[in-house]
C-alpha cells in the first residue's frame, strides 16, 4: 500500500509540474514567431490522438472484460467539461502576453477560492471556518505575490483580466470533472474531455490561423506541448490521484505554482522578490490548510 501511494504521489507531482512549466515555454516559443493560437491548437491536435492510442494499446488490452463503455450522454457531458478546459488553456496562455508567468500562475490559483464559492452556491451551504481562513490566506498571498503593495511591477489590466477568467474557467473544469461520468475509467474520461477541448480550440483559433498557421509547429514544438500539456498531465493525474488520499493529492498538485515561478525565474529571468515568495507560500499554506481534514481521514 505504501509503495502504491508513493508511486501515485510521484505521478501526481510529475503531472502537476508538467502543467506548471507550460506557460514559461509559451513565452519562449513566441520568440520564434509562433502565436498562442498555433501553440494551443497544436497541443490538442497532438495530445488527443496520443490519449486515444494509449487507451487502445494499453488499457483496452489489459481490461477489456471490465471496461465500461461511455453512453452518448457521458461523452457529451465530458466534452462539454473539456471545452471549459480548452478555454482555460487558451486564455491562460494569452495572459502571459501581458503579464509575467509568475503573476499569471498566481492569478490562476484564485481557482482555490472561486471553487469554494462555486461549491457553496451549488450545494447551498456556508463554507466552513477553515475554508474562509484559507480564502483569506489566498487573497492576502495574491496581494503579496502580485507585488501591488510595492509598485515594483506594472500590472497590465488585460493580463490580469485574462488570468482571472482562466481561474474561473479552471474552477468550472474542476467542478465538472468531479461531477461528470465518475463511473468511467480515468483514461476514457481524459480522452473525451481533451476531445471537447480540441473542438472548442479549433473553432476559436480557425479564423485567426487561416493566414498565419505554420504547419512546422505540429512536428516541432507542438510535439512538446501535446505530450507535456494535453497528454502526460491528464494521464498521470487521473492515474495517480486514486492511489493517494484526496487531500494529499490536492497538496501535491499545487506544485504547479512553485514550478511555474521557478522556471520563469531561471529561463525567462523574471524577477521574483521576497514578498512575492511569501505570497506564494501563503497560497500554498491555504491549500494545505483546506485539505488537512482530508489527509486525516
List C-alpha distances in Å: 269 to 100, 102, 149, 151, 266: 10, 11, 22, 19, 6
DSSP 209-268: HTTT--GGGGGTHHHHHIIIIIIHHHHHHHHHGGGS-HHHHHHHHTTHHHHHHHHHHHHS
Would the pTM of this model clear 0.85, i.e. be above it?
yes
**What are the tens digits of pLDDT across the range 252-275?**
888 889 999 999 999 999 888 888
Burial status of residue 268 (CB atoms within 10 A of its CB: 0-12, 13-18, 19 or more): middle
DSSP 188-217: HHHHHHHHHHHHHHHHHHHHHHTTT--GGG
Rounded Cα gap, residues 47 and 285, in angstroms? 33
**How many angstroms from the chain centroid is the CA of residue 54?**
21
CA diameter of the chain: 61
Strand ranges for 76-168 from DSSP E: none
**Grid cell listed for 266:** 531561471
**Grid cell listed for 198:** 480540441
Which residues, at least 6 apart from 169, have a Cβ–Cβ distance to it below 8 Å?
84, 85, 87, 88, 91
Long-range contacts of 53-60 (CB under 8 A, 24+ apart): 54/187, 54/231, 54/235, 55/187, 55/188, 55/191, 59/185, 59/187
- CA-based nearest residue to 255, from 40, 31, 64, 20: 20
The pLDDT assigned to 211 comes to 79
Contact 80, 196 (CB under 8 A): yes
| Stretches in the chain below the pLDDT threshold 70 | 1-3, 59-67, 149-153, 242, 245-247, 249, 294-297
The pLDDT assigned to 278 comes to 93
The pLDDT assigned to 77 comes to 92
Give kind and range of the element (H or E) at residue 82.
helix 72-95
Burial status of residue 72 (CB atoms within 10 A of its CB: 0-12, 13-18, 19 or more): exposed
Rounded Cα gap, residues 72 and 78, in angstroms? 10
Direct distance between the N- and C-terminal alpha carbons of the chain, in angstroms, rounded to an integer: 16
Contact 215, 167 (CB under 8 A): no
The pLDDT assigned to 126 comes to 86
The pLDDT assigned to 246 comes to 60
Rounded Cα gap, residues 61 and 102, in angstroms? 42
CA triple 111-259-160, angle to 5 deg: 40
Contact 14, 255 (CB under 8 A): no
Rounded Cα gap, residues 70 and 183, in angstroms? 9
The pLDDT assigned to 49 comes to 96
The pLDDT assigned to 196 comes to 96
The pLDDT assigned to 64 comes to 47
- CA-based nearest residue to 242, from 159, 182, 293: 182
The pLDDT assigned to 119 comes to 81
Length of the chain in residues, anyone? 297
Amino acid at each position: 500500500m505504501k509503495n502504491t501511494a508513493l508511486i501515485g504521489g510521484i505521478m501526481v507531482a510529475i503531472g502537476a509540474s508538467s502543467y506548471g512549466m507550460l506557460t514559461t515555454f509559451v513565452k519562449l516559443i513566441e520568440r520564434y514567431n509562433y502565436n498562442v493560437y498555433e501553440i494551443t491548437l497544436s497541443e490538442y491536435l497532438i495530445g488527443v490522438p496520443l490519449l486515444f492510442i494509449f487507451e487502445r494499446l494499453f488499457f483496452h488490452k489489459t481490461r477489456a472484460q471490465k471496461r465500461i463503455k461511455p453512453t452518448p450522454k457521458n461523452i457529451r457531458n465530458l466534452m462539454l467539461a473539456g471545452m471549459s478546459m480548452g478555454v482555460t488553456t487558451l486564455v491562460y496562455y494569452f495572459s502571459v502576453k501581458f503579464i509575467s508567468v509568475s503573476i499569471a500562475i498566481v492569478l490562476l490559483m484564485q481557482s482555490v477560492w472561486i471553487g469554494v464559492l462555486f461549491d457553496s452556491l451549488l450545494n447551498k451551504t456556508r463554507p466552513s471556518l477553515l475554508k474562509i481562513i484559507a480564502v483569506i490566506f489566498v487573497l492576502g498571498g495574491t496581494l503579496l505575490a502580485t507585488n501591488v503593495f510595492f509598485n515594483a511591477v506594472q500590472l497590465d489590466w488585460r493580463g490580469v483580466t485574462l488570468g482571472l477568467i482562466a481561474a474561473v474557467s479552471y474552477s468550472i473544469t474542476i467542478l465538472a470533472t468531479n461531477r461528470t461520468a465518475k463511473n468511467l475509467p480515468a483514461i476514457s474520461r481524459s480522452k473525451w474531455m481533451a476531445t471537447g477541448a480540441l473542438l472548442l480550440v479549433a473553432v476559436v483559433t480557425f479564423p485567426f490561423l487561416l493566414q498565419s498557421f505554420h504547419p512546422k509547429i505540429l512536428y516541432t514544438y507542438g510535439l512538446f506541448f501535446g505530450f507535456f500539456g494535453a497528454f502526460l498531465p491528464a494521464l498521470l493525474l487521473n492515474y495517480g490521484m486514486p492511489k493517494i488520499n484526496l487531500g494529499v493529492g490536492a497538496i501535491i498538485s499545487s506544485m504547479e505554482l512553485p514550478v511555474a515561478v521557478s522556471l520563469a525565474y531561471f529561463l525567462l529571468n523574471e524577477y521574483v522578490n521576497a514578498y512575492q515568495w511569501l505570497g506564494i507560500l501563503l497560497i500554498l499554506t491555504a491549500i494545505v490548510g483546506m485539505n488537512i481534514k482530508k489527509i486525516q481521514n
